[in-house]
Amino acid sequence: MTISVGDKLPDIKLMKAGESGPEPVQTADYFAGRKVALFSVPGAFTPTCSAKHLPGFVEKASELKAKGIDEIACTAVNDAFVMGAWNKASGSDDVTMLADGNGDLAKAVGLVMDGSGFGMGSRGQRYSMVVNDGVVEQLNVEAPGTFEVSSAEYMLGKL
């Protein structure tokens, strides 16, 4: 079942790149008590993700924060090392990379895509959501092969 507006985000262990290696992040703790703009990409360093999705959230970070967003986070079914390298190459300190290396979050929210035709296996769909104190307030899921409703610009228009 796909997560919906009003649902509590499941408590999943993700990873983020730390100075001394991967650090565990529990979603229940991470999303508690704040408003987070979370976006999911099929993969770090992939074309649309690198050219449009991540850069949009980097460019619009101050506008999102001015509209009440406390934190911006990106997730993908990649490991913490890849997500950390992608942030260094294309991101900013305004975006926290949360690695969903096993696809646990993608599965738990019901937003998995089959990327096996591209040699990518099971991945998270492209989406964005606003999570307020662990509860989904806004959910924007892309149709396959599109990039419209999960952008930072679209999210800003809905805030």
Q: Name the one residue in this structure whose structure tokens are 């770090």.
A: 44
Dig out the tokens for 69 from the structure.
């967003």
Distances (CA, A) of 121 to 32, 60, 90, 105, 109: 31, 31, 24, 15, 18
Please provide the DSSP assignment of 69-86 as one string.
Answer: --EEEEEESS-HHHHHHH
Cα dihedral 80, 147, 104, 130, rounded to 10, equals 90
Are the C-beta atoms of residues 9 and 3 closer than 8 Å to each other?
yes
Q: CB under 8 Å to 29, separation ≥6 — which residues?
A: none
Distances (CA, A) of 43 to 34, 61, 82, 159: 26, 21, 9, 26
- List residues with catalytic annotation: 49
